[in-house]
Amino acid sequence: MSDVTAEHSVILHGHSMAYHDSGTGPALLFIHGITGSQRQWAHLVDRLDDDHRVVVPDLFGHGQSAKPVGDYSLGAHAATLRDLLDHLGIERVTLVGHSLGGGIAMVFLYLFPERVERLVLVASGGLGREVNPILRAATLPAADLVLPVLASGWVRQRITSGGHALGRLGLRPGPDLTEVWQGFTSLADPDTRRAFLATTRAVLDPGGQTVTAHDYLPDSPTRPTMVIWGAKDRMIPATHAIAAQRAIEGCRVELFDGAGHFPHLDDPDRFADLVREFVAEG
């Protein structure tokens, strides 16, 4: 497995962005979700960078990138990724966005259509109102006071199994619990926590997702799009894949039976094969 810790960094908008860049061929830009990082794509690098250029950043506010006070909207993230591509000399790219990253990918297409070859949306945000209560709770006013306590070391040390608590929210054992738990533990860092709250509040309210791609998809240029979803996703329901298929002309949908919110972790070989096949369609 390739190590996609911060092999490279660049100053964008006055702040450091960490990213991995390897391989040659058609460019793939992987965009992680809330509390995620480039680490979540690490297992795919060796599977794809033999015949693709694979770029895997940590978004601002995540991983080893800076956590500045500022704009964490989808448009701001999209503009930063455009600037990263400019720095790398990449003109056009296939975007692969997971969860929040899917929403960023769709806004990127809307803002910079000339830079996008294809779109792969993985359990994407922005396609419906529904989202798990674990994320909706972060938009409540009390979250600013409660989250530092919940994420503190003394509380985490007393939780014998994060899986029990998260499992009650409907998350599957395996990648779902592992990734959500690791994301939660990262919130012990005050800067990461501040960025997390800013990010969630840019796209969510207590009732669910507030930013919907359906508002701007009719005005977006058409690009080949593939939607990948875990059939047992309890973070964002798989029914949103059907909404995407209806809204995006020629959209291809692939459901991973038995997978949850991280289908690329549940079945990485199938995921890599699908991405390679999709890009090769030309």
Kindly list the catalytic residues: 99, 233, 261
DSSP 223-278: --EEEEEETT-SSS-THHHHHHHHHSTT-EEEEETT--S-HHHHSHHHHHHHHHHH
Q: Is 93 exposed, middle or buried, given 0-12, 13-18 or 19+ CB atoms closer than 10 A?
A: buried
Q: Are 226 and 252 in contact (CB under 8 A)?
A: yes
- Tell me which DSSP letter residue 52 carries: S
Strands 93-98 and 53-57: unpaired
Q: Are 227 and 252 in contact (CB under 8 A)?
A: yes
